[in-house]
Every structure is written in C-alpha cells, then in structure tokens.
C-alpha cells in the first residue's frame, strides 16, 4: 500500500493528466465544459474516483454518461502517459460541493440584503 504522500502525488498526477487528455480528446468541445475538481484513489490503487463539475451548458448526468463512455479510452491514455504499475479504473462522480457553495452564498447574500432593508426602515 502506498503511503499518504505518494497516494496524494498519484491523485494529483492523475487529475492533471486526465485534464490534459480531455483537452486533446476528439470530443474536446464537450469536454472543455467539464472541470475535474479532485481525484481520490483506493488504498490499493485499483480504483480512482474522479470528481467533476460542469458549466451550465451541459447537465451533470449527461456529462457523467459521456465520461463513463470514454472511461476505457481515458484509462488507456493514462496508462500510456503515466509510468504506474497499475492504472486505476476510473469512476466519475459529479461534485456537488460547488453547487452547494453557490446556494450557501446566495442564502448569505439574501440574509445580508434582508438585514440591510430592515436597518433602512
């Protein structure tokens, strides 16, 4: 099993390389609307959870489906580009933290605006 420092380095490497591969992908126009937010690999390096977010133009489920359809190609590309004994299987997961953060920010803005209106009256 890899130590935590090595595991983190591998996660960062996979995230960076996947991003680069997606930018060069034939369906590049679609994949440029996807942001890889983080990667988490299993202790045995067999599976990588790849968290992503999307811009408004495409839906999260549609993006996940496209990524899953290309998972084998992406894994092969990673295996070719990285010098790892084992290239993990890729499991794409929509990262809702950005959406939750936006909602929280909107709630805070609404509360501040409400307080300002109450102060003005």
Q: How confident is the model at residue 29 (pLDDT cuts 50, 70, 90)?
A: low
CB 38 within 8 A of CB 51: yes
Name the architecture of domain 4-96: 2-Layer Sandwich (3.30)
What is d(CA 121, CA 118) in angstroms, rounded to the nearest whole number? 5
Global pTM exceeds 0.75 = yes
Asked whether residue 106 carries a pLDDT value surpassing 60, the answer given is: yes
**Rounded to the nearest 5 degrees, what angle is found at the Cα of 114, between the Cα atoms of 110 and 116?**
120
Q: How confident is the model at residue 119 (pLDDT cuts 50, 70, 90)?
A: confident
Go through 91-108 and write b for each residue having 16 or more CB atoms within 10 A of its CB, e for each that does not: ebebbeeeeeeeeeeeee
Two tokens, residue 8: 């983190």
Residue 104, SS3?
Answer: helix
Q: How confident is the model at residue 96 (pLDDT cuts 50, 70, 90)?
A: confident
For residue range 39-91, list pLDDT tens digits in order. 999 989 899 999 999 886 578 888 899 899 999 999 999 999 998 888 999 99
Asked whether residue 121 carries a pLDDT value surpassing 80, the answer given is: no
CB 72 within 8 A of CB 40: no
């Amino acid at each position: 099993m890899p130590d935590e420092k090595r595991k983190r380095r591998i996660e960062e490497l996979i995230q960076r390389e996947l991003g680069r591969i997606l930018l060069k992908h034939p369906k590049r126009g679609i994949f440029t609307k996807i942001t890889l937010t983080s990667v988490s690999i299993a202790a045995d390096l067999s599976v990588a959870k790849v968290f992503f977010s999307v811009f408004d133009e495409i839906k999260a489920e549609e993006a996940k489906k496209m990524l899953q359809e290309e998972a084998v190609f992406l894994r092969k590309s990673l295996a070719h580009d990285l010098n790892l004994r084992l290239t993990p299987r890729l499991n794409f997961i929509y990262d809702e933290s950005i959406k939750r953060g936006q909602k929280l920010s909107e709630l805070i803005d609404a509360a501040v605006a409400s307080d300002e209106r109450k102060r003005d009256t």
